[in-house]
Structure 1
Amino acid sequence: MIDLLLVLVLLLSLVAVAWPFFFYPLILRLLPTRAEAPADGPLPSASLLFCAYNEAASMPDKLANLAMLKDRHPTLEILAFDDGSSDGTAGLIAAQGGGGFITLLQGPGRSGKAHGMKLLAARARGDVLIFTDANVLLDADAIDNLLARYADPDIGGVLGSLHYLGEGDSATAAVGSLYWRIEEKLKDEESRTGNVLGADGSIFSIRRSLYPEFPDSVLDDLTVSMAVVFAGKRLVKAKDVIARERLVTGRGDEYRRKVRIAARAWHTHSHLRPQLRRMAAIDRFKYASRKIVRWFGGLFILIGALAALVLALRLSILLAMLGVIAVTAFFRIGGRARSGPLATLMDILIAYAATLKGVVKAMRGRTVTIWNPAQSR
């Protein structure tokens, strides 16, 4: 009976780990398509917002990209917030933004992205607020394609598609690229069937009238985009709105980034919980499948590993010892590897560990409001 229970725990752990990436996509494909209502009319006005901290290396390309978008859309309002940069980022933005090209707001010190975005949103005047990151470049037709989706009055928010660059630079980059390709496909399916359950900061937009209030400790991307769903409007993804960003290549950078994001995501979940409970059943299912189950993936791996160890001990002490030796050797070799399958598997486990650590930190009351750009982009 105990052996059967251990096998069941092990199988359930494996299913839980695989759920967001295998079982959930299969279920989404079975759901019917929810069409958008075709409509004609003028494009809404728009404001593009981004926050920056010590992004001097990214600024020349970013500012050239914004200048190109401004040439294509003379009425596009562009606002930037500098979060106390010490590398001249604010000076670069101010120099390029002379004559009203970019409106620059500067904080007194480090106050965080969520705080900066709230200041920018309060200053913006466009009908649609477009959010992006300081190191992200948008394709020339991204604004046109994004605003065109707002012809449907039921659509309250539109996400773009993020294409990462530098997949072959390291095992960490390769794992990040694979993860994001899966994430993009999941969002495509969620959009086809109704609502995407949350945006990332690379490129997304909402109607300005839907912008919510929120504390600085949350993920503003997730909080702001979910306000669309809570308002009874559709949050959809546009494949032809393309943003490009370089992948993080260093394990340390990626680990710290995932811990920070996971901690803020859990605070966001706590902040949004009353509204999440009032969502439609299909949206609650999507949210749990793509977010909550994934956040605790590291815990499911630990539970499954413990069940496997106890089961091996009950079968044979030698078998258990061989398993422990094999796992120890993997971590020693995989920890030093920078390419190949062992390095890839190691980076996957590190990602799970970082996410679980961030969630546990947040559950213990720790908050993260500021960020540092990855040095290995």
Structure 2
Amino acid sequence: MRGIDLFLTLVVMLSLGAVLWPFLFYPLILRMLTTRPEQPGQGQPPSASLLFCAYNEAVAMPEKLANLAMLKRRHPQLQILAFDDGSSDDTAALIAAQGDLVTLVQGPGRSGKAHGMKRLAVRARGDVLIFTDANVLLDAEAIDNLLARYADPQVGGVLGSLHYLGEGKSATASVGSLYWRIEERLKDEESRTGNVLGADGSIFSIRRALYPDFPDSVLDDLTVSMAVIFAGKRLVKAKDVIARERLVAARGDEYRRKVRIAARAWHTHGHLRPQLRRMSAIDRFKYASRKIVRWFGGLFILTGVMAAFALALRIAPLLAMVGVTLALILLALGLRSKGGPVAAVVDILIAYAATLQGVFKAMSGRTVTVWNPAKSR
């Protein structure tokens, strides 16, 4: 009997440790690693092309185009390319009206962001390709600070820092903001110790010569940024390259977004697996800690809860039933609330559930190539 209790206790502890690993233990390990400094070089900054894809972003486009115009005034030689993925609103017309600022490439219909970025990369002339999203705004100094990091010949890619707007709009937005602040700190530590293990689409860049070939079904942000590491170059993060984006405020929008991203990320993981195995031991450790462990966080939570319930039943059945009842009440309250700590905990659980659903979706052979902008930004 005691052996079963010990086993269940061990399962609970291991599950809790796995959930906490990417956010507590992994950062502590990173802080113990030595700094790998960059080697500043000399000479003129490289030329650059800025690329973004859009679908039904007519609401965001006036502000985006004004931001691009500001960047163009500071960098007259900056090439700006946009791909419209068959928008049904005025997105393409708004971009086309600024033909002296942005070169518009239109797709035949819904073909996805990966396809669009490949189309743009072929037309790009800059030594450095800068990738961003249609709803993301860059600070005035972002391009200067980003290109300066390429003075080190070992740097093959540079990520920026994403700052979210609208944190107080809902519990979903608050949780998303907290998650991203943790993510940004992890990337800072990874960069300090060598390589960041993958970029998101808000703001990152690579040397054009390193741009890889890949199928339309993968997550292009992850695939393109990881190509830097596979080529033996450094993928680093610049704190002073700042991008700003509005948070998703509605749970439904955020759930669908996380399912889509997780499905494509796991599909991409399968595509990259042969190259991932050839990375250095430290980069494999980083990749597993920040990505694989997190992708299965929902499974760890479910396993831990089931083990804790089984253990409670063995120790005090009445207490176990009271605990389940209380948990269900708190869950119901959290689902009905738009703010507060209970709602935040529920949003965290929903995020884990969405990620796990996306991973299982990809494991079953399904993935997502197209996207729809969140209406609650």
TM range (shorter): over 0.9
Q: Which residue of 2 aligns with 1:157?
A: 157
- 1:55 paired with 2:57, answer yes
| SS of structure 2 residue aligned to 1:140 | coil
Q: Which residue of 2 aligns with 1:125?
A: 125
Q: Which residue of 2 aligns with 1:146?
A: 146
Letter paired with 2:281: A
- Structure 1 residue 225 displacement after superposition: 0.1
Equivalent residues in 2 for 1:103-118, closer than 5 Å = 103-118=103-118
- Structure 1 residue 359 displacement after superposition: 0.3
Q: Which residue of 1 aligns with 2:84?
A: 82
Question: Deviation per CA, 1:87-142, whole angstroms, max 9, x where unpaired?
Answer: 1100000002x23x211000111000011001001111110000000000000010
| SS of structure 2 residue aligned to 1:55 | coil
User: Please, which moves more after superposition, 244-253 or 311-320?
Assistant: 311-320
| SS of structure 2 residue aligned to 1:158 | strand
Q: Which residue of 2 aligns with 1:7?
A: 9
Aligned length: 375
- Structure 1 residue 302 displacement after superposition: 0.2
Equivalent residues in 2 for 1:225-264, closer than 5 Å = 225-264=225-264
Which residue, out of 26, 36, 41, partners 1:24?
26
Equivalent residues in 2 for 1:295-314, closer than 5 Å = 295-314=295-314
Question: In 1, Cα distance between the equivalents of 2:257 and 2:217?
Answer: 15
Letter paired with 1:91: A
- 1:276 paired with 2:276, answer yes
Equivalent residues in 2 for 1:193-212, closer than 5 Å = 193-212=193-212
Identity %: 80
Question: In 2, Cα distance between the equivalents of 1:178 and 1:375?
Answer: 21
- Structure 1 residue 155 displacement after superposition: 0.2
| SS of structure 1 residue aligned to 2:97 | helix
Q: Which residue of 2 aligns with 1:173?
A: 173
Q: Which residue of 2 aligns with 1:65?
A: 67
- Structure 1 residue 332 displacement after superposition: 1.2
- 1:292 paired with 2:292, answer yes
Question: In 2, Cα distance between the equivalents of 1:121 and 1:345?
Answer: 41
Letter paired with 1:286: K
| SS of structure 2 residue aligned to 1:200 | coil
Question: Deviation per CA, 1:158-197, whole angstroms, max 9, x where unpaired?
Answer: 0000000001111100000000000000000000000000
Question: In 2, Cα distance between the equivalents of 1:359 and 1:248?
Answer: 21
Question: In 2, Cα distance between the equivalents of 1:270 and 1:373?
Answer: 26
Quote the RMSD (CA, aligned, Å): 0.6
Question: In 1, Cα distance between the equivalents of 2:135 and 2:181?
Answer: 19
Question: In 2, Cα distance between the equivalents of 1:229 and 1:57?
Answer: 36
| SS of structure 1 residue aligned to 2:104 | strand
Q: Which residue of 2 aligns with 1:183?
A: 183
Question: Deviation per CA, 1:13-51, whole angstroms, max 9, x where unpaired?
Answer: 000000000000000000000000011110101000000
Question: In 1, Cα distance between the equivalents of 2:292 and 2:246?
Answer: 27
- Structure 1 residue 218 displacement after superposition: 1.0
- Structure 1 residue 238 displacement after superposition: 0.2
Letter paired with 2:372: N
| SS of structure 2 residue aligned to 1:369 | coil
User: Please, which moves more after superposition, 221-230 or 313-322?
Assistant: 313-322
Contiguous gaps of at least 5 residues in structure 1: none
Q: Compute the TM-score of the two structures, normalised by the length of structure 2.
A: 0.99
- Structure 1 residue 260 displacement after superposition: 0.3
Which residue, out of 12, 33, 48, partners 2:35?
33
- 1:358 paired with 2:358, answer yes
Question: Deviation per CA, 1:328-374, whole angstroms, max 9, x where unpaired?
Answer: 11221111011111100010000000000000000000110000000
Letter paired with 1:51: C
Q: Which residue of 2 aligns with 1:346?
A: 346
Letter paired with 1:275: Q
